[in-house]
Structure 1
Amino acid sequence: MTPSPRPASRRTVLTAFAAAATAGAPLLGQLAAAAPAAAAADPGEYASNTALYKDPALVEGTSYGRRFKRHPAADSDLTAKAAYPRTAILALHGGGIEIGTSELALGIAGYDPGAVTDKAEPILPSTHDYFLFEGLLSSGNKALHVTSRNCDDHVALSLAASHLNVLSLHGCQYDQLGMPEPMEPMVWPPSSDPRLAVVGGLNAEFRAALVREIGAAGIPVVDAFDSRYLNRLQDFNGSHVTNPCNLTMLRKGAQIEMTTELRQSLFGDSGSRSRRAATWDASGGRFEAFRDACRRAIATVEATQPIL
């Protein structure tokens, strides 16, 4: 879940940005210094990824893991423009934290969603850069949740800062959204089947493309900024300026909050990390439909972003 700040709530509104990086500092240090200062952590959460990584009770590779793919890019031709990656896919709460987001991120990026520990191989003609933070505990992975606005992982931030677009994937619970009983067919999911995707982030064009494509795939979806839902979904709209989805070259991006029921429906068996990896292609085509809808939306947005 990636809530946004709201007055008179437990969420603290960001009031200032960190100072610009010191000249000559290492690249990742500059990125960290140039990023806006983190807001207060939600109760019971780590204040940042840095705080989590420094906890001696946690061991990387056992308690949590990080995976990323950054494609090499070079232009040695003085007469032509080379292609350059424009979109990165993030799963900041993957593994057992918000189930299904790791596999979906790999899939949307064009890689094998079944790669649990091995190197993920591409299975689609085009690929995107990606970053995954994954909870690996046998239970209690929710304790590893760092609110997105407080993410300071250097790889995640550097990927965001070097791309025109970021699509960040998150999980939520249907009853957190405050949705009423069905009011409009194909808009409100019935309470007996609360599958819903909530599209947020500050890039309105990206949001519109995602809503259009996900809806066309037969998946209930709403724009968190739609006036009909804005008040209900303001904690899920991904509007915070330090949310990595908005720390792109354009200072705007997109995220999708997916209810537990929606994520579960995209797998033959969502009960564990290994089962999700083994059954992502056994959902009756629902995983592929969601994946491909997101990829079509990305292609639509990228088509208007020529390399200058």
Structure 2
Amino acid sequence: MTTDHPSTPRTASRRTVLTAFAAAATAGTPLLAQLGSATTAHAATAAAAADVEYASNTVLYRELAGQEGTTFSRRFRRHEQFDTSMTAVAPFRRTAILALHGGGIEIGTSELCLGIAGYSPGDAVGAPILPTVHDYWMFEGLLSSGNKDLHVTSKNCDDHVALATAASHLNVLSLHGCTFDQLRLPTGSYPPAGDRRVAVVGGLNKAFRTALVTELNAAGFPAIDSLAPAWASLLSEYNGDHADNPCNRTMLRMGAQLELTTELRKSLFTDPDSRGGRAATWDKNGEFVKFRDACRRAIETVEAGQPLL
């Protein structure tokens, strides 16, 4: 889930709290006695830490120093390109794909990031499988549980590579996950037939939003424009309209994002409940490919209206 509304400032470090308890556990006293003698301050600090998120990627990286590759990971690809001709204009990559809350934070978004970018979600290296590829960046939670504690609100993302990637492209498509119930949709009238596989399309690029809504609906995935008058007030927390949202930090100062319900993301895989399961089954039921290709067609539509200057 992404939200452009202010989040609670992080006043305590989860790592500091957990380290303190780990140190106490090695002091030699029985665990129950340690827990019983824990100070009120420690308990309050632990409770506070559990209720707030990291204020930025910088804070997260500082507090989890040394844990990249075990607690979290970052992956990106920037394609090398050259223009060596004095007479012809060489093509350049106009669109980047982002997954700010990948891995176990918002499941399926890492795989979609790779797939829409033209790479295999089943290969840890990300082997290209489509003739046209896009730059991408992702942050992933790697914990066996509790990955949502690694969430950083989109507008607070300050990862240098993520922001540099956005700033050097005309378009960004940013992928996020939410639950159906969080959206509070008028289920009496939408979605059709009670289908909980919903894509909420946001971002400040109206043409990009329109293309995504059109292509996703045509592919059989219920999709709505969160900034359309019918939905604007209801979906204001999911519309990606904040100027500091990385999807809008492009050369054009506008982009697109997708908030995808859990039911939609899980429907794309035969086995959606683990990283290995998603990697092994993304191409088994056809839904992932349908969704991936709908997004890629939307990107093609937008890029077709952006001639090289």
What is the TM-score with the length of structure 1 in the denominator? 0.84
Give the counterpart of 1:88 among 96, 101, 120: 96
Give the counterpart of 1:50 among 46, 53, 58: 58
Distance 1:119 1:128 in 2: 15
Change in 2 beyond 3 A, CA 1:57/1:138: farther
Distance 2:64 2:170 in 1: 36
Residue equivalent to 1:166 = 172
- Counterpart secondary structure, 1:222: strand
Unaligned runs of 5+ in 1: 13-41
* Letter of the structure 2 residue corresponding to residue 274 of structure 1: G
Alignment of 1:78-227 (within 5 A): 78-115=86-123, 118-183=124-189, 187-191=190-194, 193-227=195-229
Distance 2:125 2:177 in 1: 24
- Counterpart secondary structure, 1:93: strand
Q: Contact 2:4/2:153 (CA < 8 Å) preserved in 1?
A: no
* Letter of the structure 2 residue corresponding to residue 98 of structure 1: E
Unaligned runs of 5+ in 2: 9-49
How far does the alpha carbon of each residue in 1:5-35 deviate from its partner, in whole angstroms, 9 at most, with x for none?
3xxxx659xxxxxxxxxxxxxxxxxxxxxxx
Q: Contact 1:87/1:164 (CA < 8 Å) preserved in 2?
A: yes
* Letter of the structure 1 residue corresponding to residue 73 of structure 2: G
Distance 1:165 1:208 in 2: 14
Alignment of 1:226-305 (within 5 A): 226-283=228-285, 285-305=286-306
Distance 1:147 1:181 in 2: 27
Q: Contact 2:248/2:255 (CA < 8 Å) preserved in 1?
A: yes
- Counterpart secondary structure, 1:232: coil
Q: Percent identity?
A: 63
How far does the alpha carbon of each residue in 1:262-292 deviate from its partner, in whole angstroms, 9 at most, with x for none?
0000000111011001110112x11111000
Distance 2:84 2:205 in 1: 32
Distance 1:248 1:43 in 2: 32
- Counterpart secondary structure, 1:4: coil
Residue equivalent to 2:308 = 307
Change in 2 beyond 3 A, CA 1:4/1:190: farther
Q: Contact 1:201/1:246 (CA < 8 Å) preserved in 2?
A: yes
Considering fraction of residues, name the structure with more helix: 2
Residue equivalent to 1:20 = none
Aligned length: 268
How far does the alpha carbon of each residue in 1:53-103 deviate from its partner, in whole angstroms, 9 at most, with x for none?
011476000000010000011111111111111000000000000000000
- Counterpart secondary structure, 1:54: helix
Distance 1:79 1:104 in 2: 38
Q: CA RMSD in A?
A: 1.5
Distance 1:230 1:58 in 2: 42
Deviation beyond 3 Å, 4+ runs, structure 1? none
* Letter of the structure 2 residue corresponding to residue 142 of structure 1: K
What is the TM-score with the length of structure 2 in the denominator? 0.84
Shift of residue 2, structure 1, vs aligned partner: 1.3
Greater radius of gyration (CA):
2
Shift of residue 220, structure 1, vs aligned partner: 0.6
* Letter of the structure 2 residue corresponding to residue 286 of structure 1: E
Shift of residue 43, structure 1, vs aligned partner: 5.3
Q: Contact 1:189/1:195 (CA < 8 Å) preserved in 2?
A: no
Distance 1:221 1:289 in 2: 14
Q: Contact 1:88/1:163 (CA < 8 Å) preserved in 2?
A: yes
Shift of residue 4, structure 1, vs aligned partner: 2.3
Q: Contact 1:94/1:134 (CA < 8 Å) preserved in 2?
A: yes
Q: Contact 2:103/2:275 (CA < 8 Å) preserved in 1?
A: yes
Q: Contact 1:209/1:301 (CA < 8 Å) preserved in 2?
A: yes
Q: Contact 1:246/1:254 (CA < 8 Å) preserved in 2?
A: yes
